[in-house]
Amino acid sequence: MPGREEGRRNLSEAAPRRVITAVAMSGILVMVFILLFLMKEGMPILRDASITELAAGRLWYPVSSPPLFGMMPLIAGSMAVTLVSSVLAIPFGVALALFLTEICPKRISGFFKITLEILGFLPSVVLGFIGMTVIAPYLQVRLELLSGLNLMNASMLLGVMILPTVATLSEESLHAVPQSQRDASYALGATRCETMFKVVLPGASRGIAQAAILGVMRSLGETMVVLMASGGAALLPESVFDPVRPLTSAVAAEMGETSVGSGHYHALFFMGCILLLFTLVLNVLVIKIESRREAN
Amino acid sequence: MKKAGCEGGSKALLASQPSLGEPRDMSGLRPGYAVWRKITDSLSTFLLWAAMAFVAAVLCSIIAFLAAKGGGTLSWEFVTEPPRNGMTEGGIVTPIVGTLQLILVSMCFAFPVGVTTAVYFNEYARGGALKKTLRLAMRSLASIPSVVLGLFGLAFFCAFLRFGTSLLSAGLTLGCMVLPTIVTASETALANVPQDYRDAARALGATEWQTIYGVVLPTAFPGIITGGILSVGRVAGETAPIMFTGAVYFAPGFARNLFDSVMALPYHVYVLATAGTNIERTTPLQYGTILVLLAVVLGISITGMAARSRLRKDVL
């Protein structure tokens, strides 16, 4: 009976398809649960404090009575660390990418790429440790500071962390600039420097922007380095050598000490929501740039 | 219309240029401009070399520094004995085993789900809203800060599903973290399987599933495993997602089941570095632990990298 045989085959076709599609959808489920549970645990803080108090309050004393949940110093800390590390690491990362595509002889470029990749594999807790034991004492003695654990220390280490991301992604987009454009530039008598900065870099600008945003995203969300090296003072920083307490480090440091369901607990989840919001916005930006690149 | 305009423009441009072979009049340029160009060219080359050399030097000095400081602590006892005396003496076998257990649990979740998702993307999905949504979910998941995933693990696995502060909660949280990495790596491996293989299998009468299971997956397997190894390296080194989901300051022994809490190497480094009361006695332990962590993470990652480069050579 060919009909029945065919029916059985169709069934054995449909089953794996359904199972695989269902399992694959668990990714969507995870993402939805993350949004749901962070909101569920974070939003109750709005019963204790208004959104303006949270965002504009300058005092973070979550365990005093009455507790004060001003998150401005923490948000400012996150912004400051992200800004300084990006300013340090993004130009540096792009320079490395230029070196790898335009200058480095092919024979040894593999070695340097491996170096960058290994740098990217370094666990963040190891870099945080270096910040505590090597950079902090050095900064303290050299610049006569009260403490070497500060904004600058954390930003330098974060810079090291995001450097491989920025460099590798920029390198990919520089690589995608057609060789004919370089040839044309050289044929017009341009030097290598002029070709790099006036032809290759502008040609890869979208890809580099994307790499830079991904770097910013990583440095905003990085936890262990800022937890160990940023000093941990919930104050608005006035110089790059002031200690700060970014959102991620506040969550990591304080979550262990709160009781589930307290105002402090909900406030920490609310910070998680803020971080999530920032990263998702940056993510949308990356996707926008990417779709424009593909359209071109 | 537009095209005609363009052509007219380029003709006008051509007319204004000196014709080929005629030396261009450079007298209008600043004197010394040629020298300036030469200097910027050499300078940029030098600076870019220096930048790369600096990065390589930073990496080498970090590793050399840690090896020099921690090398003395390493011994067979250090990696086979549990911590003793309030963690001021003894070894680190408990966190080592804890980290291995965390890797195992996270991979038991993330590897099958990740590979299945990649199969869906590469073999089954036909475009459409579902595929787009899943793609967006994966990219968002990849961008979430690890500490936020830790919060999610705490609220969902520990509290809502009542797994408590346990190996299972921490492992699943780590699994969520590496899921996108595994999906991307597996997708690349599946995309590298030539379409001819699929066509040949189908022409022999194999069903879609038989083709995937019998031909596509075995061919892509080395690439998928390589991606898996690289993500194991990440799992081994992460601290933030496990801090409040399963890793503890001190555990008297190994986790006997999924609902026990564990010690983990990266968290142990953090604990020794920040909570130590007896700094003089814990300093050698700190450097020793870091060195072991580094050896585990870099060992796994470099294995993955080596496997990948061999694979690429095989493909070519």
B312 Cβ under 8 Å from any chain A Cβ: no
d(CA B273, CA B266): 11
Instruction: Give which of A264, A225, A242 is closest to A124, Cα–Cα.
Output: A225
C-alpha A181: how far from chain center? 33
Q: Give the whole-angstrom CA distance, residue A103 versus residue A65.
A: 61
List, for residues A144-201, the tens digit of each pLDDT value. Answer: 888 889 999 999 999 999 999 999 999 999 999 999 999 999 999 899 999 999 999 9
Q: Domain A52-295 - what CATH class? A: mainly alpha
Q: Mean pLDDT of all residues in chain A?
A: 90
CB-defined contacts A:B, below 8 A: 245
B36-75: pLDDT as tens digits:
888 999 999 999 999 999 999 999 999 999 999 988 888 8
> For residue A197, what is the DSSP state?
I
**CB-CB contact of B113 with B141 (8 Å):** no
What's the whole-number average pLDDT of chain B? 86
For residues A209-230, average pLDDT: 94
Please check whether residue B237 touches A, CB under 8 A. yes
CB contact under 8 A, A252 and B37: no
Domain regions of chain A by residue span: 2-42, 52-295
Cβ-based neighbours of A65, under 8 Å, separated by 6 or more: none
Distance separating alpha carbons of residues A227 and B269, to the nearest angstrom: 13
On chain B, the residues whose CB falls within 8 A of the CB of A128 are 270, 273
Q: Which of A56-65, B10-19, B180-189, B239-248 has the lowest mean pLDDT?
A: B10-19
What value does the mean pLDDT take over residues B226-249? Answer: 91
Residues belonging to chain A: 296
pLDDT tens digits, residue range B157-212?
Answer: 999 999 989 999 999 999 999 999 999 999 999 999 999 999 999 999 998 899 99
Q: Is B279 on the interface with A (CB under 8 A)?
A: no
- The answer to whether the Cβ–Cβ distance between A20 and B124 falls below 8 Å is yes
Q: What's the pLDDT score for residue B313? A: 75
ipTM associated with this complex: 0.91
Report the topology of domain B76-315: MetI-like fold (1.10.3720)
Kindly list the domain boundaries of chain B, sorted by start residue: 34-70, 76-315
Distance (Å) from the alpha carbon of B6 to chain A's nearest alpha carbon: 19
3-class secondary structure, B83: strand
Give the pLDDT confidence score for residue B59 in this predicted structure.
95
CB burial string A73-111: b at 16+ within 10 A, e below: bbbbbbbbbbbbbbebbbebbbbbbbbbbbbbeeeebee
